[in-house]
Amino acid sequence: MDKFWRRFRRNKLALTGLCILVLFILSAIFAPLLAPHDPNRANLRNRNKPPSREHPFGTDDMGRDILSRLLYGGRISLSVGLVSVGISLTIGLILGAIAGYFGGAIDTVIMRLADIFYSFPFLILAITISAIFGPSIYNTMMILGILSWPGPARLLRAEFLKLKTTDFVAAATALGANPRRIMFRHILPNAFSPLLVSATLGVASAILSEAGLSFLGLGVPPPAPSWGNMLNRARPLHILAGMPWMWIPPGLAVFVVVLSINFVGDGLRDAFDPRQDQTQQYE
């Protein structure tokens, strides 16, 4: 753990991204304490107001406070990212471990199923399924999670193919350990590092996908605030041209969070690579 943290700290961008990400997570957790107003309370007398002391980020076309909706929207957007990645990791971990360990016909069937998922454009398929089942935060989580499992599955399959031929797996097999124990107690802990990096980057992709679906009206339904449907409310040209306070905060939040997660993912990849210590010695 000390070596991991030392490698991670060398990447200043990753460390900065982690600090920014922690701030966004804390602001989402403590949104009820930080939000100055009810995020769903409409006040038509205050509609389309620019930033002021009472409303630091202004108000939207329903008179709702932008800052409050931004804080509560972070809860939904980050939750969708984490839960959908959890779903995809669970499916990908099980199928990838089975395909990599057993091989043969089982591997062929699972990988051809992954190829079928890859053959369709991700966003087009997500939009189609969302239109069929209707916009919902739970539907969005399930759709993004189920459509994203082939990536973790292929990554874990490759790690299992490499690790199942090692001496410690052969020793466990000779001692009579059953396949499930070998897969999840011996091989998986050694294959978890690249999966963690992939999961980190997957959260960023899920947040972007949720924002895209909500922007199209197929993600998180109003009046629940999310960064995507806040951008959806700002689509009219007169808002884009004359009321930048309605679209800059949620757009900037998506940009900063996704960029920070990508920086953290790059830092994790470098921290899990033992060759970084050798590189540091030669510098």
**Which one-letter amino acid corresponds to residue 210?**
E
Q: What is the pLDDT along the chain (283 residues), one digit of tens a residue?
A: 667 777 777 888 888 999 999 999 999 999 999 998 888 888 888 888 899 888 899 898 888 999 999 999 998 888 988 999 999 999 999 999 899 888 889 999 999 999 999 888 888 899 999 989 888 889 999 999 999 999 999 999 988 888 888 888 888 888 888 888 888 888 888 887 788 888 888 888 888 888 888 888 888 887 888 888 888 888 888 888 888 988 999 989 999 998 998 888 888 877 776 555 544 444 4
Contacts of 140 (CB under 8 A, 6+ apart): 80, 84, 130, 210, 213, 214, 219, 220
In CATH terms, is domain 68-272 a member of 1.10.3720.10?
A: yes
Interior/surface letters 210-223, b for 16+ CB within 10 angstroms, e for the rest: bbbbbbbbbbbbee
First to last CA, the chain: 23
